[in-house]
Amino acid sequence: VTVAPGAVHLPGWLSPQTQADLVRRCREWARGPAGMRRHPMPRGGRMSVSMVSLGWHWQPYSYARELPDGTPVQPFPDLLGDLAARAVEAAHGAPHRGDPYDVALVNFYDADARMGMHQDRDERSRAPVVSFSLGDSCVFRFGNTETRNRPYTDVELRGGDLFVFGGPSRMAYHGVPRTRPGSADPGLGLTGRLNITVRASGLQD
């Protein structure tokens, strides 16, 4: 389903087995010194979403191999590179030919977590961003490229969904105004929502 030019939503694209595998891997990545954190926001306070970066960590307008406190970022897993390549092919009907996927950002939302409207402009690549959702559903707000305000479209994102953002949608403002606590498939054993985005940094060490 094409939601906007370049924005392709494939509901339920992840098999239950792959969803379970990804949840297990996210738990591994969440542990340790470079694991899940709630990062400080530029204007004070902390994000309500907890994050793990794999491969590279976003800075304002760039990427680094270390977290802000100097902890080395965990490696980018081949599993996510392979899954992102299959996802782009499923969404676009053609293989991904641009910069290699080398960054993943794992976001965890508890019942109260939200993500404000923002653009993703830290990457130096035009490669599409690939998003995998696990667990609770959420309201995903897909906006425009000019302002963080209206017009926008609210889309329900459910556990198992794939979203690929390429072309003009790559620079659109977007956010998560709420999740739907308790909506996850009980068989998954996840309380809350995980979102994995896979990206190309456009950098070469």
- Binding residues (CB under 5 A) for Fe ion: these are 120
| C-alpha span between 120 and 100 (Å, rounded) | 17
| C-alpha span between 30 and 5 (Å, rounded) | 34
Question: Side-chain half-sphere of 46: how many Cα atoms within 13 Å?
Answer: 8
Q: Which two tokens stand for residue 96?
A: 């991904």
What does 131 interact with, of Fe ion, ligand MD3, none (CB < 5 to 8 A by kind)? ligand MD3
Neighbours of 42 (CB within 10 A): 7
Determine the distance from the C-alpha atom of residue 189 to the mean position of all C-alpha atoms in its chain, rounded to a whole number: 20
Q: Which two tokens stand for residue 60?
A: 């304002």
Please tell me whether residue 103 binds ligand MD3 under the rule CB under 6 A: no
CB of 184 to ligand MD3, least distance (A): 14
Please tell me whether residue 53 binds ligand MD3 under the rule CB under 6 A: no
| C-alpha span between 30 and 3 (Å, rounded) | 31
Please tell me whether residue 163 binds ligand MD3 under the rule CB under 6 A: yes
| C-alpha span between 61 and 86 (Å, rounded) | 28
Name the segment binding ligand MD3 (CB under 6 A); options: 10-18, 28-36, 40-48, 162-170. Answer: 162-170
Compare residues 37 and 170 and give the one whose CB is closer to ligand MD3: 170
| C-alpha span between 182 and 194 (Å, rounded) | 13
Of positions 22, 54, 80, 115, contacts ligand MD3 by CB under 6 A: 115
Please tell me whether residue 50 binds ligand MD3 under the rule CB under 6 A: no
Compare residues 131 and 201 and give the one whose CB is closer to ligand MD3: 131
Name the segment binding ligand MD3 (CB under 6 A); options: 33-41, 69-77, 95-103, 172-180. Answer: 172-180
Please tell me whether residue 74 binds ligand MD3 under the rule CB under 6 A: no
Please tell me whether residue 165 binds ligand MD3 under the rule CB under 6 A: yes
